[in-house]
Amino acid sequence: MAAIGGGVVAERIDHLHLVSPHAHEPATRLRPIRALPSRNQAFTGRAALLERVAASMQGSEEDGHSDDPGVVSLIGMGGIGKTQLALEYAHRHAHDYGLVWWVGADQLAAVMASLTALASQLGLTAGQPSLLIRALWVELSARSDWLLVYDNLDDLGAMNDLLPPSGGKLLITGRDPRIGRIGTRIDVPEFERDESISLLSRRCPTLSPEDADRVAAAVGDLPLSVEQVGCFLDETRLETSDYLRLLESQPTASGLDDRTVSAHPGLVSVVATSRDRLMATAGPTAATLLDRLAFLAPEPIPLGSDPAVAAPRFGVQLGDTATAALAVRKIVTLGLARHADNALQMHRLVHALLRARLPREEHEVTHHAAEELLATITLGDPDTPETWPEYGMIVPHVRELLSSAASLPGPQLDAEGFRALVLKVQRYLYFSGQSRSAVDICRITRESWTDRLGPDHPDTLHSGYNLASNLFELGEYAQAREVDQDVWHRRCSVLGMDHPDTIRSAHQLAADLCDLGDFAGARALDEEGWRHHRRLLGEDHPDTLQSAHYLGSDLYELGEREKARDINEDVWQRRRRVLGETHPDTLHSAHHLASDLCDLGELERARELELWVLGQRRERLGADHPDTLRSRHYLAITLHRMGDYAQARTLNEEVWNRRRQLHGDDHPDTLRSAYSLADDLSALEEYARARELHQDTWERRRRVLGENHPDTRRSAQALAEVPSAP
């Protein structure tokens, strides 16, 4: 073992308890970290509001009282300037905090992507986003010099688990007045007239104060309108009177239920006038691009450090790179979208107005073109964590297009490139631990593509495969089996038994059967897949080794431990040679081999091997990754077999508590930990607690897995064998 684990094997087990990487730093010290959108150099006014925010953060605000002086909610209608106010406060006071982090909070996926990026900055490496965020809250709860800004938080229920702990400062912006219940509420009004004039003068220095006053009155001092008008007048040099006549000539928007538009109808004219100018100066191609962007989500679209970087992507649709570059630049200079932080973003009100003014008969073709536009963005492999931040930016746009497609008439088909992107997004959500979000998208696409492409289309089947993968991760084994069985049968018929996708479906179905207790059925499928892979790919191909790995797991569950050990040891050695010592698949094989060795009585070797795997997983995946917790669990089982009941109990109790926090009390992994902990308690003669825990585990397994599942029967037997308390 020395050649494998080196000094790691000798590490004391009690040093493997899980701690924050900053646990020994002073609680109030934090290395400076900043992640804010670029500062708005044209920011104007709002002095009194900024002072109120600062006072409320310190707990000296008299009205809008809050029990937590570190939380402030900025509430107001769209376009009122909440985001710019929060951004200016964060930039002005960044020096007061060790950590300042901006979170776009109107999409669950975007929030998770932002928070996991913050966790990574802090050195946390739990792997899956949900685990990283839990580790992040532990980290922040021990510190006080941080400021998080949640921008556009309007679905408090969905985000409840994603709000930070107390201790630092939290600044929220939102339109829903109910958000104001969090912390101190500050209502954000329209500009004062002098603020409107000041911003117009900044954006268009040639504008006289008198003309600025006329324009501000025409648009009702709404900051978004004032900003748009300033950009327009600076770009066009149009006379004020001529511009005001243009505004008056624009039709009103119909079918748009928005409080801001009702209160400020001038905004409709401002946006329409700017779009008309875009058409006149950059041509119909630029206006078409703007309309397509309006069918994506009003969230950042990754472009690069310069708007022209988008040209090669958008040029695929717009004809040539030069035309695309001009279109993007004109959209930005007219204030119809902002380019900052390597992304293009349209204000959500501009987004809604542009979509509402487009004739209904043009929606279908524009929606289809928006799909093609999004598909031009090149993304890396979804299983690589380095690609996850950009995938996180894409998810809101995918959701928007899938959601709006349901309202389109006729047999509209998704663009082929867009379908490929959606499938990659589904895998990203799976690999990054966002299975609940993935299930939602997978169900939408599977149903939609079944209707539009047919149930046997490769993309429909791939979406079903991804759906089953994520259902399995959520512990929904019966649902996963139903979907996997359908996909496997269809792939057998359409692609043939030897196709790689068919074999993958067979193995995934076998995993469902195994966790549902049908070990013989799982073995038959995995054995057949292994034979196919050996014949088609050879003994050492990664797919062949994965098939053998699955078969070894089946044999273990069937009680054929020696055969399982022989296969797992062979796969482990081959993977060490083919993939490397610390590849995740190699570590999986080592972990399974350690379990075999434990059951065959080779306890010392099992302990050393599992200790080494645990060290590798903890270092690479983080303390709360499911694989790390599995290694800790099986190490505890080995220690129990060796008679070290006290240490086994300590490890099992910690893993059980972690799994309850991460997955809930009814998740199969949580129940496995509860079962092992009850065994430890019984061995330590804590019979009353052992009986209570075995009873609870048995009842939960009956409900979750069924009366006849092998794990349920094991629980019933273990409960019957607990001695009565003296």
Identical topology for domains 29-187 and 644-726: no
Contacts of 409 (CB under 8 A, 6+ apart): 364
Whether the predicted pLDDT of 562 surpasses 70: yes
Mean pLDDT of the chain: 85
Phi, psi of 315 (to 5 degrees): -60, -25
Three-class DSSP labels, 616-662: HHHHHHCCCCHHHHHHHHHHHHHHHHCCCHHHHHHHHHHHHHHHHHH
Least confident of 34-48, 300-314, 601-615: 300-314
Q: What's residue 308's pLDDT?
A: 46
The more confidently predicted of residues 679 and 167 is 679
Mean pLDDT for 257-261 is 56
Q: What's residue 324's pLDDT?
A: 73
Q: What's residue 143's pLDDT?
A: 86
Least confident of 100-109, 119-128, 143-152: 119-128
Q: What is the pTM of this model?
A: 0.73
Whether the predicted pLDDT of 376 surpasses 50: yes
- pLDDT tens profile 570-600: 999 999 999 999 888 899 999 999 999 999 9
Pairing relationship of beta strands 146-151 and 184-187 according to DSSP bridges: unpaired
Q: What's residue 112's pLDDT?
A: 84
| 453 class by beta-carbon count within 10 Å (0-12 exposed, 13-18 middle, 19+ buried) | middle
- pLDDT tens profile 242-253: 888 888 877 665
Q: What's residue 12's pLDDT?
A: 32
Mean pLDDT for 158-171 is 86
Q: What's residue 9's pLDDT?
A: 30
Mean pLDDT for 631-657 is 96
Q: What CATH number should be reported for the domain whose range is 381-509? A: 1.25.40.10
Give the architecture-level CATH label for domain 518-622: Alpha Horseshoe (1.25)
The more confidently predicted of residues 385 and 685 is 685
Q: What's residue 412's pLDDT?
A: 59
The more confidently predicted of residues 421 and 268 is 421
Q: Which residue has the tokens 């008056």?
A: 248
Check if the beta carbon of residue 430 is closer than 8 Å to that of residue 473: yes
Place 110 in a pLDDT band, splitting at 50, 70 and 90: confident
The rounded percent of the chain whose pLDDT value lies above 70 is 88
Which of 65-74, 89-98, 114-123, 655-664 tops mean pLDDT? Answer: 89-98
Whether the predicted pLDDT of 719 surpasses 70: yes
Whether the predicted pLDDT of 400 surpasses 50: yes
Mean pLDDT for 522-545 is 92
Q: What's residue 22's pLDDT?
A: 42
- pLDDT tens profile 281-296: 888 888 888 999 999 9
Rounded distance, CA 342 to CA 332, Å? 13
Q: What's residue 109's pLDDT?
A: 77
The rounded percent of the chain whose pLDDT value lies above 90 is 45
Place 362 in a pLDDT band, splitting at 50, 70 and 90: confident
The more confidently predicted of residues 721 and 5 is 721
Whether the predicted pLDDT of 212 surpasses 70: yes
Strand partners, 71: 170
Q: What's residue 305's pLDDT?
A: 40
Least confident of 1-15, 175-189, 330-344, 524-538: 1-15
- pLDDT tens profile 462-493: 999 999 999 998 888 889 999 999 999 999 99
Place 565 in a pLDDT band, splitting at 50, 70 and 90: very high
Q: What's residue 21's pLDDT?
A: 39
Q: What's residue 411's pLDDT?
A: 53
Rounded distance, CA 104 to CA 35, Å? 12
Whether the predicted pLDDT of 302 surpasses 90: no
Whether the predicted pLDDT of 265 surpasses 80: no
Whether the predicted pLDDT of 18 surpasses 60: no
Alpha carbons within 13 A on the beta-carbon side of 123:
9
Q: What's residue 306's pLDDT?
A: 43
The more confidently predicted of residues 308 and 636 is 636
Place 157 in a pLDDT band, splitting at 50, 70 and 90: confident
Strand partners, 147: 100, 169
Q: What's residue 258's pLDDT?
A: 56
Least confident of 260-264, 412-416, 479-483: 260-264
For 168, which DSSP code? Answer: B
Alpha carbon 296 to chain centroid, angstroms? 18
Place 261 in a pLDDT band, splitting at 50, 70 and 90: low
Q: What's residue 690's pLDDT?
A: 95
Q: What CATH number should be reported for the domain whose range is 29-187? A: 3.40.50.300
Q: What's residue 65's pLDDT?
A: 44
Q: What's residue 74's pLDDT?
A: 95
Rounded distance, CA 537 to CA 574, Å? 14
Q: Where are the domains of the chain?
A: 29-187, 381-509, 518-622, 644-726
Q: What's residue 13's pLDDT?
A: 38
- Residue environment code for 112-145, b if the CB has 16+ CB neighbours within 10 A, otherwise e: bbbbbbbbbebebbbbbbbbbbbbbbbbbebbbb
Fold (CATH) for 644-726: 1.25.40
| Alpha-helical segments (H) within 376-518 | 388-405, 416-431, 435-452, 458-473, 477-494, 500-515
Q: What's residue 90's pLDDT?
A: 96
